[in-house]
Structure 1
Amino acid sequence: MPAPIPTGAVWRKSSFSGGNGGNGCVEVAALPGGDVAVRDTKDRARAPHRHSGEAWQAFLTGVRAGEFGA
């Protein structure tokens, strides 16, 4: 079982979320040890997803290269 997300995690809203209340809003938090947590801004009561720093960087590289569509 992965380690729990620290209660003091500092969350940042995705720059792709926009400010108009549209769908798909996410927040990310850097965690101790290099992991990254991702959560839905519209349902913060749900448990965030935890990813290794390497997996997160691979995801970002794919997004920037347009591999996931828009």
Structure 2
Amino acid sequence: MHDSLMSKNNTLWMELHMLEAITDRNRHSYRQGSSKQSGSPFPDPTASNHGLNLEPEFGHRVP
């Protein structure tokens, strides 16, 4: 009984850490100005500071 609870708990922790890693990565890539690829409607105001190749007029064109 105790063992199966422990393994269930470990699985939940692993899933939580995986979700946190994905969230951090998404937040990081959004800050890097990749909102164009992710289809985010909010342009990243810092995108031009990262030396990315965005077209100046249409940096965040809606597809």
* Structure 2 length-normalised TM: 0.30
State the structure with more CA Rg.
Answer: 2
Q: RCO higher in 1 or 2 (8 Å CA, sep ≥ 6)?
A: 2
Select the structure that is richer in strand. 1
